[in-house]
Structure 1
Amino acid sequence: MDDPTFQTLADETPLPDTIPARLRQQLAFVIEVDKLKTILRQSPLAAVQRRENDAEHSWHLALMVVILAEYADEPIDIGHTLKLVLIHDLIEIYAGDTPIYHPTMGADQAEREVKAAEQLFGLLPADQATEIRALWDEFEARETPEARFAKAMDRLEPQLLNWMARGGTWLSPGITADDVRARKAVIGDASKALWDASREIIGEGERRGWARPGR
Structure 2
Amino acid sequence: MSDQLNDTAIEQQLDFLREIDILKSVIRKSPLIDQSRRENSAEHSWHLAMYALILKDCSDKEINIDRVIKMLLIHDIVEIDAGDHPIHETSDNTAQEEAEQKAAERIFGLLPTSQGEELKAFWYEFETAESNDAVFAKSLDRLQPLIHNVATEGGTWGEGNVSHEQVKQRYGSVISAGSKRIWSLVQKLVSQHFQR
TM-score (norm 2): 0.93
Separation of aligned partners in 2, 1:76 and 1:107: 30
Query: Following the alignment from structure 1 to structure 2, what is the Cα–Cα distance between the partners of residues 129 and 51?
Result: 30
CA distance in 1, matches of 2:95, 2:182: 30
For residues 1-215 of structure 1, the aligned pairs below 5 Å read: 20-104=7-91, 106=93, 108-185=95-172, 186-208=174-196
Counterpart CA distance in 2 for 1:97 and 1:38 is 11
Q: Which residue of the partner structure matches residue 3 of structure 2? A: none
What are structure 1's unaligned runs of at least 5 residues? 1-18, 209-215
Contact 1:98 1:106 in 2 (8 A): no
**Cα offset, 1:191, TM superposition:** 0.5
Relative to total residues, which structure has the larger helix share, 1 or 2? 2
**What are the Cα deviations for residues 148-181 of structure 1, in whole angstroms up to 9, with x where unaligned?**
1100110111111111110011123342111111
Query: Higher relative contact order by CA 8 Å / sep ≥ 6: 1 or 2?
Result: 2
SS at match of 1:52: strand
Count of matched residue positions in the alignment of Structure 1 and Structure 2: 190
Greater gyration radius: 1
Task: Answer whether contact 2:143 2:171 (CA < 8 A) is retained.
Answer: yes
Counterpart amino acid of residue 28 in structure 2: R
Which range moved further: 34-43 or 100-109? 100-109
Secondary structure at the residue paired with 1:99?
A: coil
- Gap change, CA 1:51 and 1:105, over 3 Å in 2: farther
User: Is the 1:121–1:133 Cα contact (8 Å) retained in structure 2?
Assistant: yes
Per-residue CA deviations over 1:114-154 (Å, capped at 9, x if unaligned) read 11111111111110111011000000111211101100110
Moved more, 86-95 or 177-186: 177-186
* 1: CA distance, partners of 2:13 / 2:78: 17
**Bigger shift: residues 95-104 or 56-65:** 95-104
CA contact (8 A) 2:35 2:152 kept: no
Q: Partners of 2:38 and 2:121 in 1: how far apart?
A: 30
Secondary structure of the equivalent of 2:84?
coil
Q: Which amino acid aligns with 1:119?
A: R
* CA distance in 2: counterparts of 1:191 and 1:173, whole angstroms: 27
The CA RMSD over aligned residues, in Å, is 1.3
Alpha-carbon distance between aligned partners in 2 of 1:43 and 1:145, rounded to the nearest angstrom:
26
Structure 1 runs, 4 residues or longer, greater than 6 Å off: none
**CA separation in 2, counterparts of 1:106 and 1:141?**
14
Identity of aligned residues (%): 43
